[in-house]
């Protein structure tokens, strides 16, 4: 009885690894979708010259 449980566990483990490998390899794609324009702009706050090092301010 114990040999059957070990054998079935081994078969289940191997099948799980095969399924995981197949799923991970089929999900790969060579196409890259790189976005070049964004709906926002990045700006710097004009407070850098008025703040001393270690000073805490509220914006």
> For each successive 10 residues of the chain (59 residues), what is the average pLDDT?
71 91 73 82 77 81
Delimit the domains of the chain by residue range: 1-29
Q: Exposed, middle or buried by CB within 10 Å (0-12, 13-18, 19+), for 58? A: exposed
Specify the pLDDT at position 28: 65
Residue 20 tokens, joined = 């995981």
pLDDT at 44: 77
């Amino acid at each position: 009885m114990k040999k059957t449980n070990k054998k079935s566990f081994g078969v289940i483990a191997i099948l799980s690894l095969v399924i995981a490998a197949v799923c991970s390899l089929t999900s790969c794609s060579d196409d890259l979708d790189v976005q070049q324009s964004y709906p926002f702009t990045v700006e710097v706050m004009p407070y850098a010259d008025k703040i001393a090092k270690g000073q805490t301010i509220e914006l």
